[in-house]
Each structure stands twice: as C-alpha cells, then as structure tokens.
C-alpha cells in the first residue's frame, strides 16, 4: 500500500458508495430490509455493516502515534459496539452518515505518508484483545473489507432487478 494507492482506494470507495446508495434508493423499504440470506441479511443491513466497520477502523486508525488531523472529525461518530449496530433508522439517514464517512476517508487518505504505512499500529478489537500489526496491511484490509461487502450489496441489488453498472476500480484508473 502506498499513499497514492490509498488515495485511489478512498476515491473508489466514495464513488462506489455513491452508486450503491443511488441504486438502493430506487427500492422500497420492504425490499431494502428483506432478509436475502447475505452475511448481514438485507441490503440495508449490509450497507449499514460497511459503515459500522469503517467507523470502528477509523477510530482505531485515529489512535496512530502520529495522529491525523482529518480524523479529529470522528468525534461526531460514536464507536459502534456491535458489527450490526444500526447507525440510522433508514436508507436516507444511513446515506448521510456514509457521505460524511467517505469525505473523512478521502481527507485522511490524503494525509498518509510512506512512513505512516511502513509502521505498526496498536489497537484493541471489539472484545478488548490488544494487537500490534503493520499499518499498511491493516489499511489494505480496511479497503478490501469494503469491496467484499459492496460485492454482496451489488448482488442483492441485482437480485432485486437493479443494475449498478460498472463497479471495477479500473474505471477510475487514468
């Protein structure tokens, strides 16, 4: 992971989330919340989980010894206590949370340096177990996790008759 690839992945994350939420907004509430057998059940719950996990990881990254000015904005995002904790009562509310998270992720990615990515970061998982792992590798996990669950979301949308269109990172690479 390089600072440049982090910026690209943050931009891709934002672009894809905009597309997913626009596509999801075409569905009625019953379809959004129907349990379709995905890891988190419904499309809405899957989108919520991505935002929950991003929030948890960003709070962990904010504890980096060098600190990140952009992550000071996390004060407006409480740390979720569960991976399925609802962050908003409906899709419009979750979309607003997602937009704020994506803006924050892009600003934060722009702050990253090779030195940040080469070092380790210490954090605790949700059970309180401490870990010390390579920061660059955790950043790869952060972006890979988003992509994994967005793939599930695009499948759920497709099953509901909604075509998200192009989802490849390649679409953003000049």
- Render each residue's pLDDT in the chain as its tens digit; 174 residues: 999 999 999 999 999 999 999 999 999 999 999 999 999 999 999 999 999 999 999 999 999 988 899 999 998 999 999 999 999 999 999 999 999 999 999 999 999 999 999 999 999 999 999 999 999 999 999 999 999 999 999 999 999 999 999 999 999 998
DSSP H/E element including 131: strand 130-134
Q: Looking at 25-163, list the stretches that DSSP marks H as alpha helix, in order from N- to C-terminal side.
A: 29-33, 43-61, 91-111, 114-118, 135-159
Going by DSSP bridges, is the β-strand pair 130-134/120-124 parallel, antiparallel, or unpaired? Answer: antiparallel
The pTM (predicted TM-score) of the whole model is: 0.96
- Per-residue pLDDT at 66: 82
- Per-residue pLDDT at 139: 97
DSSP state of 112: -
């Amino acid at each position: 992971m390089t600072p440049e690839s982090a910026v690209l992945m943050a931009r891709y994350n934002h672009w894809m989330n905009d597309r997913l939420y626009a596509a999801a907004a075409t569905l009625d509430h019953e379809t959004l919340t129907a349990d379709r057998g995905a890891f988190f059940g419904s499309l809405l719950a899957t989108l919520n989980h991505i935002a929950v996990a991003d929030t948890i990881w960003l709070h962990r990254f904010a504890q980096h010894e060098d600190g990140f000015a952009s992550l000071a904005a996390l004060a407006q995002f409480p740390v979720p206590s569960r991976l399925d904790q609802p962050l908003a009562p409906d899709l419009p509310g979750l979309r607003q949370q997602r937009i704020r998270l994506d803006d924050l992720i892009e600003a934060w990615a722009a702050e990253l340096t090779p030195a940040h990515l080469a070092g380790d970061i210490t954090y605790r998982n949700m059970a309180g177990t401490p870990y010390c792992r390579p920061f660059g590798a955790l950043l790869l996990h952060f972006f890979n996790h988003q992509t994994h669950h967005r793939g599930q979301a695009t499948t759920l949308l497709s099953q509901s008759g909604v075509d998200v269109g192009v989802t490849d990172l390649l679409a953003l690479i000049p």
